[in-house]
Amino acid sequence: MFSVELLPTYDRSALRTRIVHIGFGAFHRAHQALCCDKLASDHRSDWGLCEVNLNSGELIAALREQSLLYSVTEMADDSLSTRVIGVVKHALHGQSEGIDAVIEAMSQPDVAIISMTVTEKGYCHHPASGQLNLQHPSIQHDVRQPDAPVSLPGLIIAAIKRRRQRGLAPFSVMSCDNMPENGRVTRQVVIQLAQQQDSALAEYIAEQIAFPSTMVDRIVPAMTPETLSAVSDKLGCRDEVAVVCEPFFQWVIEDNFVSGRPAWEKAGAELVADVLPFEEMKLRMLNGSHSFLAYLGYLAGYQHISDCMADENFLIAARQLMLAEQAPTLRTTDVDLPGYADSLIARYQNRAIKHRTYQIASDGSQKLPQRWLDSMRWHLKNGSRFDLLALGVAGWMRYIGGVDEQGAAIIINDPLKDEFAQCVAATPDGPARVQALLSLEAIFGSELATSPLVAERVATFYKQLQTQGARETVKQLISHY
């Protein structure tokens, strides 16, 4: 399929399946897998990957049809740079082949790391607290049937149990999802579920399994017919597993592994003792401004982040949010935060990257706590201004109301969409709806839900969005900030 000159130059048969990755999505293909491919190419690393999708099987089937090869294309405004990735050794679809096949793949002696990119909702936790959601249907199933898991925490526990029974070395569990202290959250939900199943196994996990935290940063938009066509022209063939991304790449990893790891630092990753300062900076300044632009930009009729950047008021608002309301809350040291903000704005302006506002707006209930709400709590405690954060929350509330400013329906993609629909149906479109949504404790906790100042600020902006629309509301706030 791929021309010979594009194929990897290293010996793929020398790779060993030492990492099982759960969630063969676009981000992983353009980030962690690419990093492993660079190690194999430049340093003869033998760390190969087994890719697993638990739900959708189309990508896995396409990958197999392409001899486990696919392409990554970095796109700047006027240039494309493509490489073919060959580091994948196996690919599994949990639904087609059965969950036991996935557990068995995770239980092979060579496997040293289980990694995942399953989005925040895959952890079956309460985003506001990080605790396991014991009422989640998948968790309740896994308590009853631990050997036939349907949740991510349940799957990890089943593999740990099988490896322990076989006397195999423990593996490390590495989350690459956008959550603060994602390693801690993963450890917490896994141990809490294990305690419901087998207390001795829970103790073993607490003592023997490593859960390193990571921070990942690269803009990887969903493929469109236009980008797929551009990549096909570049390759001279069609790649159904192709992914496009921006040139920027960052991966910060807590160096905490029990059975070894690849030399990722040789491929551009940073290995550190504490990831949290990096995570907070990225989640609040990058992801926080992305969500702000996603909700308000979508309401304003902007399809892509780069479209938002063409509106001077949105550009100023995004930068002001980063520096005036997010940067003061951070624990980073020796970082040029204005320079970081400017670099983010430059990345957002890359018109070759069609990062859809609708795509970023999905699963807001899982994203808001770490992107905005922790910062709002900091401002409440310190008596400082958080108008842009409050406007973001108001924009989210208008968005999940299900109707845009032109009266068209918005299809809400969120695990709490049923709760949102109940709030919308039960309350008039105004302050009562704002208060009802603020009362969703799984998102806002108790402190924000009961704060008169938060309710007043969010309700004020919500009314402005109702009467004046997103563009004018952003413009007015920036003019008076």
State pLDDT tens for residues 436-456.
Answer: 999 999 899 989 989 999 999
Q: What is the mean pLDDT of residues 14-23?
A: 98
Report the candidate in 106, 126, 124, 125 with the shortest Cα–Cα distance to residue 115.
Answer: 106
Per the CB < 8 A criterion, the answer to whether 29 and 243 are in contact is: yes
Mean pLDDT of 6-11: 93
**Which residues neighbour 3 within 8 Å (Cβ) at sequence distance 6 or greater?**
235, 236, 237
Residue 77 predicted with pLDDT over 80: no
Pairing assessment for the beta strands 214-217 and 243-245 based on DSSP bridges: unpaired
Average confidence score pLDDT of the chain: 95
pLDDT tens by residue, 101-127: 999 999 999 999 999 999 999 999 998
Judged against a pLDDT cut of 80, whether residue 78 lies above it is answered with no
Contact 52, 105 (CB under 8 A): yes
- The CA-based angle 114-118-122, given to 5 degrees, is 105
The residue-averaged pLDDT of 43-56 equals 96
Task: Give 258-289 pLDDT, tens digit per residue.
Answer: 999 999 999 999 999 999 999 999 999 999 99
User: Is residue 31 within 8 Å of residue 218, measured between CB atoms?
Assistant: yes
- Helix (H) / strand (E) element for 139: namely helix 137-144
- 73 close to 244: Cβ distance less than 8 angstroms: yes
Please tell me the predicted confidence (pLDDT) of residue 332.
Answer: 83
Enumerate the CATH 1.10.1040.10 domain ranges in the chain, comma separated. Answer: 276-480
Alpha-carbon distances, residue 395 vs 404, 448, 465 (angstroms): 11, 17, 7
Q: What token pair was written down for 290?
A: 């992305």
* pLDDT (tens digit per residue) in 284-339: 999 999 999 999 999 999 999 999 999 999 999 999 999 999 999 998 888 899 99
CATH 3.40.50.720 in the chain, residue ranges: 4-272
Distance in angstroms (rounded) separating the CA atoms of residues 460 and 274: 39
Q: Cα–Cα distance between 192 and 211 in angstroms, integer?
A: 14
The pTM (predicted TM-score) of the whole model is 0.86
Q: Would you state the pLDDT for residue 199?
A: 96
Report the pLDDT value the prediction gives residue 64, as an integer from 0 to 100.
97
Tell me how far apart the 2 most distant CA atoms of the chain are, in Å: 66
The CATH number assigned to the domain with range 4-272 reads: 3.40.50.720
CB 18 within 8 A of CB 113: yes
Residues contacting residue 415 through CB under 8 Å, at least 6 positions apart: 121, 363, 365, 366
Does 88 score more than 80 pLDDT? Answer: yes
From residue 477, give the alpha-carbon distance in Å to each of 271, 410, 419: 40, 25, 30
Taking each helix axis from N to C terminus, what angle separates 417-426 and 431-438, rounded to the nearest 10 degrees? 150
Residue 348: is its pLDDT beyond 90?
yes
Question: What is the per-residue pLDDT across 218-247, written as a single tens digit (0 to 9) for each?
Answer: 999 888 888 888 898 888 899 999 999 999
Whole-angstrom distance, CA of residue 293 vs CA of residue 286: 11
The pLDDT value given to residue 352: 86
Output the pLDDT for position 2.
Answer: 85
Please give the Cα distance from 19 to 265 (Å, whole number): 17
SS3 286: helix
Q: Which CATH architecture has domain 276-480?
A: Orthogonal Bundle (1.10)
Whether 363 has a pLDDT exceeding 80, the answer reads yes
